[in-house]
Amino acid sequence: MTETHKPSPDSEEPSSPTIAAVNNKYQLKDFHAYGSTVGVIHNPEVVLRAYNNGQRTATKAVNVAILDSDPATILACKTAISHATTNGDCLKDVTLINDNACNAQDIAGGTSNGGAMVYENYSKAMIGPRCYDENYDLSRLSYFWNLPFFDRNGNVLSTYDNSLNPTVSHVSMTAASTMALSLIRFMQSYKFRDVLFFGPVALSDHFLSRHAVVAQYMKSFDNTINITTISVTDEDASGRGVVDLELITPTQLIVIDSSFAKFPSIVANLNLPDLFSYGYLVVILCAEVPTICGKPSQSAFEDSKALLLGPYIENYSDISSKIKSYSGDSFNNATCIDYMTTYLSCYSLCIGSKEVTDWNGKSFTNALKGKIMKTNLGSFTFDQMPEIMTSQVFQYFTKGQDTMVTVAVSVPQASSCLNNKCFDMVINISNVTNNFWPSKGQFPTHCGLSGSCAYYWPYILGACIFATLLVLVIAGWFYSRHRRLRAYRNNWRIMSANMKIIENTASKSRSKATEGVASKRRVIKDYAIIEAAKAEYIEIDQHRFISWAKPELKYLFEMKKLSNNNLTSFLGINFNENQKLKDLLEDTDFTMDEIFKAAFLRDIIRGLEFLQKSFIGIHGLLTLDNCMIDNHWVLKLSKFGITNIFHNLVTDKVLEIRETIPIKTYTFIAPENLNNVEVFRGFPMGTMPGDVYSFGIILYHLYYKLSPYHNADLSNKPLYEAIQKGQRRPELDKHDNSKLAKLIEACIHPTPHLRPTIKEISKIVTDVYNAHQGTLAEQMISVNEKYVLNLERTVADRTETLREMKDRVDAILGGMLPPSILATLKEKGKVIPRMFESATVCFVQLCNFADFMEHSTPSQVTAFLNDSFNMFDEVIDQRDAYKVETIGETYMIVSGVPIENGDKHVFEIAEIALMLRDNSLKFVLSKSPEWKLEIRIGFHMGTIAAGIIGLKAPRYCLFGDTVNFASRMQSNCPPNQIQLSEVTANMLMKNEDYKLTKRGIVQVKGKGDVNTYWLNEHLHHDIKDNDFKYPEVTKQDQEVALLDFLSGPRPTTMHNLNEILKANPRIGTSRARKALLQHN
């Protein structure tokens, strides 16, 4: 490419153009003979070669080129230049020249005419044509010419790339990007994920269809939206209805392009009122303001409440009147926006001419970025593209009136430039139109439009009943077998809900003076209560996951069976899943790399930020012991907000601390908060700066991997007194100038108000660990993948290290996500959100929990929640269901997600609900036996959307109306009752063994009056454990078969699992399926 010559602005105008070789603008049109297609004409190099290899001769004349032949448009531009000159916003003596463009018979005429006006008429700026192809060609050429170019088209995606088009300014009032982003925000407000575009095919090679361009923009902005595009000619669309045009689909949102030449007659044939009544919502794309765009088809729009999407301009009637007065007889109300766009283009050109006197294209666009332009038509603002920011409005016609109702206004806001846009749209939904579309949230009944509705209910009902009975029989058989085998595999395990640790304070307070013969009995210092048995226990730290082999399982099973008068009974093993941050730091087998440090520090900061914004305000006792890590590897702060209360009660002698508080705890407390605190007995006061000091000490442990007082005796009282008086400070490395070292020094500053805030700490930690911005799950997967890639280059002695790393990653991820989702995430790197057509969601809430908290200690509340939810977990483990999450005292369950199970999910949840209610009635809290557990349960079946949410701590979450409805069923339910919706009850009543009672009409928030039912019981007539006989399979056979299965190779797919089950029918498939999920 020949370099563009930039002459001096003071050069004199030559007497005649100096053009080498080809010097006639019409000869450029012959260049298409060099290529097989006309595309060669649209190559900037061809145009530059045609005109002296791109060399331009400078001139003092200020000619501005406009590619348009419409007299009204030319007049609009001249009027703008005149207004700008009068207002002092324009360089004087600007001359406007124009030529034809966008001629259907002259495919590159506008491009060649533009080149001629630059080289022969010495134009220093250009107002682009309306057609997209020549607009694109000239915008690219303006880069080589380095002259300002004003884009009035707004439909060419590539011109919005600043790196390719740094000389282009965008002034379209109906830009496709603005409409696309407004539609996206509207869809998000109404929870649409699918949209169908319908419009005309392009009339010629010069133009693009508006609906196709808007669809392309939407896909570039949000690729999760499902977009369908239908383009037809006016002839094909005329006289055809929605069925013939294939507009009847499950997609409720239909966007119609108003660019059809025969738009009024086409819209009339679409019968929009029927579309609206059957649950569809229609949006019309307008090239004018909605009042002008919809006027020809107003009668068709009134009954359908079709929304017209177009530019929203305040005082539009006044502006229209002004433009009419400027244009005179040539004014056309239907193209007023085009005139306005041209007016603003020419006024913008004048604004830039004052800022950049040498008409440098790049400098020109830079001068307009962020500019507020005050014209005779009003004020308009450019973003950083630069592009004029225009609001968009969704309106519909009021039936019988000549007025429009505003449903939403999409307002642009300047933002940082991303994805070829430098703005965002904020949509404001009108409060008075919330119910304008009664079918919101419902699926369209499109068979009524097509006349294809058929009633297959008798056949479907019969098939469902048969399938349900078959599933129940098979499930019952497998469940019975699963229950028999479960005792063998897990008989050694003691669940946390069944075990309580008791500290025997009597043994600590025995006096030697009272010891006699009777006191010679052995006293157990601490003991455990397991169900009704009192037992000794051995406490051992676990450093990695334990996987029992077949001999070990058999050994534990035989130990459990031992019984003799001279032997105590072996009751089993309990695993405590929570651990402390201190334990990980002290664990020599655990390597805490930067990934873990980043995740744990962010968790601590988020916890402190939440506390400081809450009513509690502080933590007060932030130590390593109070940083708990759950089985999802999420760090949670404990014992927050209690120090000030306990400090006052201990100081006033209301409370007395029995156990001493170790001095190591005080090393985490700010010295100013230790005043008047008795060593070993007193609780410190808590403050926000004190929490920052404690965070600094924790960061010291993580960063230096040792205590700030590692050279001191932490049991020495003088150390405490020295810290309290500020005489002893943490030991810092003065030569360490890293950001974390300086952050530690700032956090433990002796003056509280000079310590940084939590927000400042968060910014520094984020900057330091910028390379670890992903979620812990993603980072673990990345580490694992990198390790696997290097596996071939490692020697044999590294194999064991690889296995340990993989086990650690799998253990972390296995506690965060369902097994099938985790398998997909590991295989494909991402999990695509999806819609489940049928699933059942259940909510279980602990009643009177607030009263219990008010009259209980924190440890009692924690024990109560652990006992209750562990009991719930045991029930869930027995069924085909998944525990989604716990929210306070509420427990959420789903069946049919993420693994679909047909209609089985309704019955699975019903069984779970009945079992939870039965267990809750028998539930006894060991620390508060007088408390009676009451729960309320509600569930509902329907369509559910599911996907992974969250970057820091990912969770598999559910969305949709089904979740909200299920929650309403629980919240409206009395204690110890199970309430379900009518559609769910109808499914359960297909099985006569379920006993239900109709509750009647219930007022449900967001739904109005709905019928609900009580679920009473399930009689289980078909299977009885006492009567069921396994053919020729003894208990010993079952145990041996299960041991073979557990010790052998694990199946990796359901197909492999089925093959194993066929080879050994003595293994229960329910049990084997659970082993498969645990393995994956």
What number is the average pLDDT over the span 476-498? 71
**Domain-located, residue 1078:** no
**Which of 111-120, 304-313, 540-549, 761-770 has the least mean pLDDT?**
540-549
**Which of 90-99, 568-577, 884-893 has the least mean pLDDT?**
568-577
**Domain-located, residue 218:** yes
List the one residue out of 25, 212, 31 whose CA is nearest residue 123: 25
797 lies in the same domain as 851:
no
CB atoms within 10 A of CB 531: 11
The rounded percent of the chain whose pLDDT value lies above 70 is 78
Distances 555 to 207, 564, 576 between C-alpha atoms, Å: 80, 17, 22
Give the per-residue pLDDT at 443.
58
285 lies in the same domain as 355:
no
Give the separation between CA 972 and CA 845, rounded to whole angstroms.
Answer: 11
Kindly give, in sequence order, each residue whose CB lies less than 8 Å from that of residue 990, ignoring residues fewer than 6 positions away: 461, 464, 465, 468
Overall domain count for the chain: 5
889 lies in the same domain as 977:
yes
Distances 894 to 263, 305, 839, 949 between C-alpha atoms, Å: 48, 38, 7, 17
Type and span of the H or E element at 183: helix 176-189
822 lies in the same domain as 809:
no
**483 vs 1080 pLDDT, higher one:** 483
300 lies in the same domain as 374:
no
**Domain-located, residue 1060:** no
Q: pLDDT band for 391, please (50, 70, 90 cuts).
A: very high
Give the separation between CA 89 and CA 368, rounded to whole angstroms.
Answer: 13
Give the per-residue pLDDT at 545.
62
State pLDDT tens for residues 619-641. Answer: 888 998 888 887 678 888 888 88
Give the per-residue pLDDT at 949.
83
Give the separation between CA 427 and CA 414, rounded to whole angstroms.
Answer: 14
359 lies in the same domain as 404:
no
Could you tell me how many residues make up the chain?
1080
Give the per-residue pLDDT at 515.
46
List the one residue out of 116, 109, 139 whose CA is nearest residue 56: 116
**Three-class DSSP category at 576:** coil
pLDDT tops 90 at residue 127:
yes
pLDDT tops 90 at residue 914:
yes
Give the per-residue pLDDT at 815.
60
| DSSP output for 421-440 | EEEEEEEEE-GGGTTS-TTT
Backbone dihedral region for residue 762 (phi beyond 0: left; psi -120 to 50: alpha; all else: beta) = alpha
Where residue 705 sits, what CATH number does that domain have? 1.10.510.10
Kindly give, in sequence order, each residue whose CB lies less than 8 Å from that of residue 994, ignoring residues fewer than 6 positions away: 910, 988, 1015, 1017, 1018
- β-pairing, 62-67 vs 123-127, is parallel
What number is the average pLDDT over the span 341-364? 88
Q: pLDDT band for 776, please (50, 70, 90 cuts).
A: low
CB 408 within 8 A of CB 187: no
Give the per-residue pLDDT at 797.
60
Give the per-residue pLDDT at 756.
93
Give the per-residue pLDDT at 11.
36
pLDDT tops 70 at residue 1051:
no
Give the per-residue pLDDT at 985.
93
Where residue 33 sits, what CATH number does that domain have? 3.40.50.2300
799 lies in the same domain as 881:
no
| DSSP output for 549-565 | -HHHHHHHHHHHH---T
Give the per-residue pLDDT at 60.
60
Which of the listed ranges 188-202, 425-439, 468-482, 703-717 does the model predict with the highest average pLDDT?
188-202
435 lies in the same domain as 369:
no
Give the per-residue pLDDT at 286.
92
pLDDT tops 90 at residue 558:
no
**Domain-located, residue 486:** no
Q: Looking only at Cα atoms, what is the longest distance across the chain?
A: 131
Q: pLDDT band for 18, please (50, 70, 90 cuts).
A: very low
State pLDDT tens for residues 938-979. Answer: 999 999 999 888 767 778 889 899 999 999 999 999 999 999
Final residue of a domain: which of 381, 407, 422? 381
**Which of 233-247, 284-298, 552-566, 926-940 has the least mean pLDDT?**
552-566
What number is the average pLDDT over the span 446-456? 55
Q: Retrieve residue 965's tokens.
A: 């409805």
| DSSP output for 633-672 | S-EEE-S-S-HHHHHHHHHTTS---SSPPPHHHHTTS-GG
CB 248 within 8 A of CB 242: yes
625 lies in the same domain as 671:
yes
Question: 675: domain range?
Answer: 580-773
**Domain-located, residue 513:** no
Give the per-residue pLDDT at 53.
47
Tracing tokens 């219930």 back to the chain, one arrives at 1002
Q: pLDDT band for 128, please (50, 70, 90 cuts).
A: very high
What number is the average pLDDT over the span 477-486? 72
List the one residue out of 623, 607, 749, 725 whose CA is nearest residue 677: 725
**Domain-located, residue 565:** no
CB 781 within 8 A of CB 791: no
pLDDT tops 80 at residue 904:
yes
Q: pLDDT band for 661, please (50, 70, 90 cuts).
A: confident
Q: pLDDT band for 510, please (50, 70, 90 cuts).
A: very low
**Domain-located, residue 5:** no
Give the per-residue pLDDT at 445.
57
Give the separation between CA 86 and CA 997, rounded to whole angstroms.
Answer: 82
State pLDDT tens for residues 823-869. Answer: 887 787 788 888 999 999 999 999 988 888 888 888 888 888 888 88
**Domain-located, residue 19:** no
Give the separation between CA 535 and CA 184, rounded to whole angstroms.
Answer: 63
Tracing tokens 């053009």 back to the chain, one arrives at 19
Give the per-residue pLDDT at 723.
84
Final residue of a domain: which of 1018, 1033, 1060? 1018
Final residue of a domain: which of 335, 353, 381? 381
pLDDT tops 90 at residue 818:
no
pLDDT tops 70 at residue 1030:
no
pLDDT tops 70 at residue 55:
no
Give the per-residue pLDDT at 435.
67
State pLDDT tens for residues 565-600. Answer: 667 777 777 766 567 788 888 777 777 888 888 888
Distances 168 to 216, 364, 655 between C-alpha atoms, Å: 21, 9, 75
733 lies in the same domain as 612:
yes
Handedness of CA 252, 258, 260, 266 (dihedral sign): positive
268 lies in the same domain as 220:
yes
733 lies in the same domain as 791:
no
Give the per-residue pLDDT at 774.
62
Give the per-residue pLDDT at 838.
92
- β-pairing, 149-151 vs 168-170, is parallel
